[in-house]
Amino acid sequence: MSESCHDDHRRGLAVLLPQRHADDHMEHEQSDCACHPGANHAGAPSPRIVFIGNPNVGKSSLFNAILGTKARVMNAPGTTVLLERGTYEHDGQSWDLVDTPGTYSLLPISPDEQVAAEAVMGLEGNPDPDLVVATLDATNIARSLYFLALVLELGRPTVVALTMNDLAAKNGAHVDAKQLSRALGGLPVVEVDGRTGKGVPELMDTIAQSFHGTPMPGGLHPVNPHTVDIEQWVEGRADERFDWAACVIADIDLDNRDDVTFSDRIDRLMLNPVFGILVFLAVMFLVFQATTWLAGPMQDWIDGTLREWITTGITSVFALFGPHATDSWVYGLLVDGVLDGVITVATFIPPMGIMFLCLSLLEDSGYLARAAFVMDRAMRMVGLDGRAFLPIVIGFGCNLPALAATRTLPDSRQRVLVGMLIPFSSCSARLSVYIVLAYAFFREQAGLVVFLMYVFSVLLILGVGIILRKVKFRSLAPEPFAMSLPPYQWPRLVVLVRSILTKLWGFVRGASSIIVTMIVFMWILQGIPAAANAGSFGKVEDVHQSVYGVVADSVAPVFKPAGFDNWHASAALLTGFVAKEVVVGSLAQSYNVNTGDETEQAQGEGSLGAALNHSFNESSGGHGKAAAVAFLLFTLAYTPCLATVAELKRQFGGKIAMQTVGLGLVVAYILAVLAFQILRLVM
């Protein structure tokens, strides 16, 4: 037997449509012919296999184990629910595999559940699946059997993948796959473990033998989802399905299972109203520290040592072409443009990798579901569940890994809402701007000013969240909180590492082109002379005399109502769009101040602070402190950095990314203008 997997994943609603092959340029409708669906005749679409199951049953792990990639299927949020698809080769036959979001019912209450239901039922233009793989959680067999009854009544060929049986055995409730198959009237049942790959070959062989049809267990009645009223069908026979599930449980002798499990005993502490919150805050503190302090030295090494090594190598190569080769604009483009973009992408790899590691550990261990339960009440004020607290907290360290953390949220609407709120979390990169301006204008109260910026960030998240709920996310109404708590288990190291590497590569591949392109574009603007005596291309000594300076001059009047309509401020904000870390450096460059290795406090108290005082007082008509507060608020609220925009686009699509950028700019401008106009009366 020859089995191989193709990394041919397709995201978006496109995964629900038949695959278009390179040698097939015509649209193919699903065939209703009586030929064997797995035959792959020339021109015929590949058999379609849909994976479905409840949340937290190991379905996505199984899906990725089959495809040969350990990347967990993350349904990136957006106006449509994104899925993952893969092409699998089995004995020369090509199959289309589609993973769906976890759902408790085929009567959906969220967009994610609706996509899952429509995919398995073949509704709303989705092709009918040739076979359904229903994943059953052996640790919660009663709930899984009720859902299985709904799937079986669709009348599709179905294979049961029995997961978490090892954990069920530890609780004294091992489910025998053969005995369960007999209780289900001969329906194929295969015990699998997506974390180790156990049972995958047997599952695929069973699928190959089941395309022609599988038995319908006694007590269930098939329906045609294209003609039946879905709501009436799901709700009308619920009691009969529960009775059927009870009979199956009796047939497999699970009535004497241990009701109190190891996970139950731990949850007595983890879900305690007091101790549970303390544990959660401690976990959040460790994750926050890991993505900031632990990643910091690695980022410094990349930005310092690695950059120096590569720069030295490029310089050595150019030296081969003559002593003046490094004076060319090509050298400047490579070192200050392309290399700077590459290094910028590379510096985000450590915090992203650490965040992916933390998320995988929390999710695979089973704790993430407990965290959502503990924090659910606090997050309901903005219409979110408890899991939304994690990415928002991480956002105060770095917005980029915080966006990655939104993938743990169960509803696509929640993921979009939290993704749009995260840029208002005051990341550590903004701190250098706060410190410099606080010591430049409020030396005695500098610490208080910095603290208040973080307090205002929290208030801003709550305020914008409430507004978005009422304007853009009106359908995201609070619903009764019900979720399955998966059993605690040890994550698999090999699976963990492969998952992290796969996700990191997805980030690098998705974000690098945008970041590098924009940084090169900024270099070009700064390298084009705008005056006769400004120098040559790539050799403009005074940035104010470049096209970049002209753009900064043209933007400056927009900020007159905010009190800082000078090109120094507008130029710093433009570079801050690329990265907030360079705002202070841009200010020093525009004022022609050499700060050397001075700390942010020393810069604020020194010559840079004096220059800021002079220009802000001049542009604000003597109300420099009010203008400084306006500048700080604008820095807090507008787009955190280009990498965040790239990640927004990668996860949510270009439309959501642009809406988020626009929202940040509008909120930042309104805050800055209001702050200046009010504070200039008292400062």
DSSP string, 453-506: HHHHHHHHHHHHHHHHHHHT-TT----------PPP-PPPHHHHHHHHHHHHHH
Whether residue 186 sits in one domain with residue 136: yes
Decide: helix, strand or coil at residue 137: strand
Residue 329: partners with Cβ closer than 8 Å, 6 or more residues away: 527, 536, 537, 538, 539
The closest alpha carbon to 155, from 135, 181, 130, belongs to 130
* 497 found inside a domain: no
Same domain? 251 vs 287: no
523 and 468, same structural domain?
A: no
- Residue 296, Cα to own-chain centre: how many angstroms? 21
546 has which bridge partners? 529
Place of tokens 């007595």: 268
Quick one: 546 and 472 in the same domain?
no
Six token digits for residue 595: 């700060």
Query: Does 132 map to a domain?
Result: yes
Structure tokens at 82: 């994104």
- The domain boundary residue, chosen from 199, 222, 255: 255
- Residue 546 — left, alpha, or beta (φ > 0 → left; ψ -120 to 50 → alpha)? beta
Give yes or no: residues 216 and 67 share one domain.
Answer: yes
> CB within 8 A of 498, min separation 6: which ones?
69, 70, 71
Residue 454 lies in a domain: yes
C-beta atoms surrounding 547 within 10 Å: 17
Residue 263 in any domain: the answer is no
Q: Are residues 294 and 423 in the same domain?
A: yes
The SS3 of residue 593 is coil
pLDDT of residue 153: 93
Give the predicted TM-score (pTM) of the model. 0.63
Task: Verify that 450 and 533 share a domain, yes or no.
Answer: no
Q: In this predicted structure, what is the pLDDT of residue 495?
A: 66
Specify the pLDDT at position 597. Answer: 65
Q: Is residue 453 part of a domain?
A: yes
Is there a single domain that holds both residue 62 and residue 175?
yes
Predicted local distance difference test score (pLDDT) of residue 518: 77
Number of domains in the chain: 3
Q: Do the domain assignments include residue 437? A: no
Helix, strand, or coil (residue 564): coil
Residue whose entry in the numeric block shows the structure tokens 């009366």: 681
Q: What is the pLDDT of residue 676?
A: 94
| Binding-site entries for Mg(2+) | 64-65, 68
Amino acid (1-letter code) at residue 101: P
Residues 167 and 301 in one domain: no
Q: Give the count of beta carbons closer than 10 Å to the beta carbon of residue 349.
A: 16
CA distance 287 to 358: 7
Which residue, 477, 295, 283, is CA-closest to 390? 283
SS3 content of the chain, % helix, strand, coil (to 5): 60, 5, 35
Report helix, strand or coil for 93: strand
Domain co-membership, 422 together with 560: no
Low-confidence ranges of the chain (pLDDT < 70): 1-44, 68-83, 171, 254-264, 288, 292, 369, 372, 375-383, 385-387, 408, 410, 476-487, 492, 494-495, 506, 510-511, 596-597
Burial class (CB in 10 A: 0-12, 13-18, 19+), 472: middle
Q: Is-contact 367 267, C-beta < 8 A?
A: no
| Residues 310 and 413 reside in one and the same domain | yes
**Listed residues 255, 286, 315: the one ending a domain:** 255
Give the domain range for residue 453.
275-428+446-476
Query: Known binding site: residues?
Result: 53-60, 64-65, 68, 99-102
CATH code for the domain of 113: 3.40.50.300
User: 3-state SS of 499-556?
Assistant: HHHHHHHHHHHHHHHHHHHHHHHHHHHHHCECCCCCCCCCCCCCHHHEHHHHHHHHHH
313: buried, middle or exposed (CB in 10 Å: 19+, 13-18, 0-12)? exposed
Count the Cβ atoms, other than its own, within 10 Å of residue 629: 28
What is the H or E stretch that residue 433 is in?
A: helix 431-441
Q: Is residue 131 part of a domain?
A: yes
Cβ atoms of 61 and 195 closer than 8 Å: yes
Residue 270 lies in a domain: no
Say how far apart CA 478 and CA 383 lie, in whole Å: 5
Annotated binding site for GTP: 53-60, 99-102
Buried b or exposed e, range 173-209, using 16+ CB within 10 angstroms? bbbebeebbebbeebbbbbbbbbebebbeebbebbbe
- pLDDT for the residue 485: 63
Instruction: State the residue for tokens 């009691």.
Output: 239
Pair 231, 287 in one domain = no
Exposure of 40 in the CB half-sphere (CA atoms within 13 A): 14
Q: Is the dihedral of CA 72, 73, 75, 76 positive or negative?
A: positive
Phi, psi of 239 (to 5 degrees): -65, -40
pLDDT at site 39: 45
Helical pair 412-421 and 446-471, crossing angle rounded to 10 deg: 150
